């Protein structure tokens, strides 16, 4: 009976089997059996309660009496990262850093460890993806500090755990969780079972040694970090690094944070010497805004911070049926909805045309407040009419579009308007607020917003050939 070191457990019904099969014998679901390590010798609570009988009842503690050491945060020295983390790394916490390959996960973690070791912290960089020499070559580009970080090239999680235990670093990066494997399981590295086992082992040793762990994970096709969301529940904090690889802007956002606000966003730019924080992203994006037909400035909220980004649209005749609806940086379904409301309630038809919408700079905006900007960019592109004023300043707007064509309030209108004013973008078109806001041109419906915007454009902005529906 030496064989059964692993078992297969159905993720739907919990049925246990010794061997893997495509269908669960317990509930009949397909592809739900996951390999897990069989518990070794630990007595199990017998089903039905009684069983082990003489268990001592635990004594709950009043929260006030629970010992909570004054939290001292570990600063990574990268301002945007510390801000997204909610003021730095919490000792002993586990952070999952996700992102597509090539986005800069290894770069940012190497920079953070370099800064931490520079400020006298014990660090460890575990790489399963690259050789130690490759990690060194990257560190050379990042400057002196990064070269002081101890590196371990290892994929066996047992060895990694033992090293963390003996070195007891204050901060340890594991790059990446998909390359680590546990000898206790037979499945391949990167499988859900392995990823879960590896993370469990790391968390366990991290809690014991008080090490803050940054676990790097690739994002799957579905967009979740390291497998079907399994890890996101386990860890304290989930950060995702986004952006398009070909573009230089990257955003770092918190999807989950037990020690700070989520939806905080840091903006970076990839340069030859590593990632550079973009301190005032609004200024950059506004300066780059073209003000041509199809361009409008969205006053977005990224966490607690307003951010001005340019939204561009192109409406072009096509032979393709059905016509294309391409969204970069905004949700595709949201785009479809906005197009439908434009046609039904604002008299802007794009029926047989391709529609492309793009948030410039490779930024992603995930909030309903982007609707109006998308709508106005499309209306402007379709009419061939720029929305900029006589001085050439682009139009700024925000607001959610409702299905009945109304404009709905979104969070923090006063901060949005203030940010736009900072860059001389006045008035901002947006939904009516409970209190009057200087600098806000409040409108109630999408129809009124498109009319107003196009009229302003006719007074000032450049015009191009309007899109003509094929007869
Ligand atoms: P990397 O951090 O290896 O990405 P990931 O770990 O997420 O897969 O690096 C991403 C890209 O960044 C890589 O193609 C090279 C580029 N890069 C720079 O442009 N400048 C730099 O200083 C460094 C270190 C990398
Ligand atoms: Mg990498």
Q: What is the DSSP letter of 351?
A: T
Spatial CA neighbour of 174 closest among 235, 221, 115: 235
Count CB-CB contacts under 10 A for residue 204.
11
Q: Across residues 180-201, what is the average pLDDT?
A: 88
Residues in the chain: 471
What are the E-state strand segments in 201-317? 212-218, 237-242, 249-257, 265-271, 274-277, 295-302, 305-317
| Strands (DSSP E) found in 168-288 | 171-175, 212-218, 237-242, 249-257, 265-271, 274-277
103 within ligand 1 shell (Cβ under 6 A): yes
142: enclosing H helix or E strand: helix 132-142
Which ligand sits closest to the CA of 142?
A: 1
CA of 176 to the centre of ligand 2 (A): 7
User: Is the CB of residue 217 below 6 angstroms from any atom belonging to ligand 1?
Assistant: no
Ligand 2: centre distance to CA 175 (Å): 7
Highest mean pLDDT among 29-43, 135-149, 277-291: 135-149
Strands 353-359 and 407-408: unpaired
* Cα 128 to averaged position of ligand 1 atoms, centre (Å): 16
Question: Is there an atom of ligand 1 within 6 Å of 138 CB?
Answer: yes
Torsion of CA 373, 378, 380, 386, to 10 degrees: 70
Please determine, for residue 306, whether its predicted confidence score (pLDDT) is greater than 90: no
Alpha-carbon distances of 167 from 103, 157, 198, 402, 454, rounded to whole Å: 30, 15, 19, 56, 65
The alpha carbon of 240 and the centre of ligand 2 are apart by a number of angstroms equal to: 14
166 lines ligand 1 (CB under 6 A): no
Best CA proximity match to 37, nearest among 149, 140, 181, 174: 181
Report residue 55's pLDDT band, with 50, 70 and 90 as the boundaries. confident
**93 CB burial (10 A radius; 0-12, 13-18, 19+):** buried
Ligand 1 centre from 275 Cα, in Å?
8
Ligand nearest to the CA of 129: 2
Q: Is 107 in the pocket of ligand 1 (CB under 6 A)?
A: yes
Q: Is 102 in the pocket of ligand 1 (CB under 6 A)?
A: yes
Q: State yes or no: pLDDT of 397 exceeds 90.
A: yes
Atom number of ligand 1 nearest to Cα 175:
6
Reported confidence tier of residue 351, pLDDT bands at 50, 70, 90: confident
Q: Which atom of ligand 1 is nearest to the CA of 216?
A: 6
Mean pLDDT across the stretch 208-216? Answer: 94
Confidence of residue 107 (pLDDT cuts 50, 70, 90): very high
| pLDDT grade for 260, boundaries at 50, 70 and 90 | confident
Query: Atom 12 (ligand 1): residue with closest C-alpha?
Result: 104
Asked whether 141 lines ligand 1 (CB < 6 A), one says: yes
Largest Cα separation within the chain, whole Å, is: 85
Counting ligand 1 atoms within 8 A of each CB, the residue from 101, 104, 214 with the most, and so the one to mutate, is 104
What is the pTM (predicted TM-score) of this model? 0.72
Determine phi and psi for 427, rounding to 5 degrees: -80, 160
Cβ neighbours of residue 42 closer than 8 Å, sequence gap 6 or more: none
Q: 229: helix, coil or strand?
A: coil
Predicted confidence at residue 65, as pLDDT, reads: 86
């Amino acid at each position: 009976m030496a064989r059964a070191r692993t078992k297969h457990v159905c993720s739907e019904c919990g049925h246990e089997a010794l061997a893997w099969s495509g269908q669960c014998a317990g509930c009949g679901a397909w592809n739900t059996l996951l390999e897990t390590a069989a518990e070794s010798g630990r007595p199990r609570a017998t089903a039905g309660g009684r069983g082990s009988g003489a268990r001592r009842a635990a004594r709950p503690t009043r929260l006030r009496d629970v010992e909570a050491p004054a939290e001292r945060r570990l600063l990574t020295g990268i301002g945007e990262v510390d801000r997204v983390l909610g003021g730095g790394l919490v000792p002993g916490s586990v952070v999952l850093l996700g992102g597509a390959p090539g986005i800069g996960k290894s770069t940012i973690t190497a920079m953070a460890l370099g800064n931490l070791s520079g400020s006298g912290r014990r660090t460890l960089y575990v790489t399963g993806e690259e050789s130690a020499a490759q990690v060194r070559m990257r560190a050379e580009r990042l400057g002196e500090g990064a070269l002081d970080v101890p590196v371990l090239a290892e994929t066996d999680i047992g060895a990694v755990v033992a090293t963390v235990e003996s070195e007891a670093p204050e901060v340890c990066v594991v790059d990446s969780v998909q390359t680590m494997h546990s000898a206790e399981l037979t499945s391949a590295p990167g499988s859900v079972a392995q990823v879960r086992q590896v993370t469990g082992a790391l968390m366990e040793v991290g809690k014991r040694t008080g090490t803050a762990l940054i676990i790097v994970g690739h994002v799957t096709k579905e967009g979740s970090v390291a497998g079907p969301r399994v890890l996101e529940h386990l860890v304290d904090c989930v950060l995702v690094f986004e952006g398009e690889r070909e573009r230089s802007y990257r955003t770092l956002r918190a999807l989950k944070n037990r020690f700070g606000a989520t939806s905080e966003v840091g903006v970076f730019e990839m340069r030859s010497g590593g990632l550079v924080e973009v301190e005032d992203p609004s200024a950059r994006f506004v300066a780059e805004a073209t003000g041509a037909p199809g361009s409008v400035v969205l006053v977005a909220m990224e966490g607690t911070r307003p951010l001005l980004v340019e939204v561009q649209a192109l409406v072009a005749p096509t032979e393709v049926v059905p016509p294309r609806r391409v969204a970069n940086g905004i949700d595709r379904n949201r785009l479809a909805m906005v197009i439908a409301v434009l046609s039904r309630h604002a008299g802007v038809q794009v029926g047989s045309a391709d529609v492309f919408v793009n948030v410039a700079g490779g930024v992603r905006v995930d909030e309903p407040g982007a609707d109006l900007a998308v709508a106005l960019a499309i209306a402007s592109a379709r009419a061939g009419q720029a929305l900029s004023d006589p001085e050439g300043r682009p139009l700024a707007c925000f607001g959610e579009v409702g299905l009945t064509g109304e404009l709905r309030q979104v969070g923090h209108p006063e901060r949005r308007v203030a940010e736009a004013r900072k860059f001389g973008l006045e008035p901002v078109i947006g939904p009516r607020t409970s209190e009057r806001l200087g600098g806000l041109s409040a409108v109630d419906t999408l129809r009124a917003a498109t009319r107003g915007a196009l009229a302003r454009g006719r007074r000032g902005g450049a015009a191009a050939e309007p899109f003509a529906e094929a007869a």
